[in-house]
Amino acid sequence: MEMDMGIKNRLAKRAAQEVKEGMIVNLGIGIPSLVPNHLPTGYGVIFHSENGIVGIGAAPSRGLEDGNLCNAGGFPVSLITGGCYTDSAAAFAMIRRGKIDLTILGSLQVSEKGDLANWIIPGKKVPGMGGATELASKAKKVIVLMTHLDKYHHSKLVKECTLPLTAKQCVSMIITDRGVFTIEHGRLTLIEIFQPYTLRQIKDSTEADFIISPHMIYSY
């Protein structure tokens, strides 16, 4: 299901609460790329891109783009003061050595145990897996931003992924257009519901089994 920009920004704003100063953060394409818009100006975070940028800045204004400077999704970016370029091998080495504190990704499915399927629907053409497996496997924390339902109104939070896996038991948090879940010790836990949804609606629209945090909140 396609989200409007207001809902996309709601998810990005909620994800931004998980970004702490001093982190090195990798953002996936789509909704995750909106996260920097919801961080304070001058916030001490370094954004990393697997095509070889450490220190991504704000998106440039139209007409000020550098044709040689883009993120891994091919979108124009800028470089912060002190940022640098690397080759792709060095950028991937940072990921594989566990230097990425947080990655925020989109997904097609997430299982109740935290398995991630986000790179291909069988039969569809894609340019490749990119850095998804490395990021999902090696980042210190993995957050997924996605719609709660797919275009057929099926739950994307599932008991077992039916699509090809990107990585197993790697997801720590899922933020959908209906609420926020965490996964700890193999248990999917609902911690937040976005208004106007109700707990009954969350239960009815979620295939995966989950428990409810005693500290669960409703938020706008």
Q: Has 65 been annotated as catalytic?
A: no
Contact 73, 66 (CB under 8 A): no
Nearest alpha-carbon partner for 209 in 159, 166, 170? 159
Distances (CA, A) of 160 to 27, 64, 109, 156: 25, 45, 9, 10
Radius of gyration of the chain (CA): 17
CA dist., res. 101 & res. 24, Å (int): 5
Q: Which of 2, 18, 21, 50 is catalytic?
A: 50
Distances (CA, A) of 195 to 7, 78, 141, 177, 180: 11, 35, 26, 10, 12
Q: Is 113 exposed, middle or buried (0-12, 13-18, 19+ CB in 10 A)?
A: middle
List residues with catalytic annotation: 50
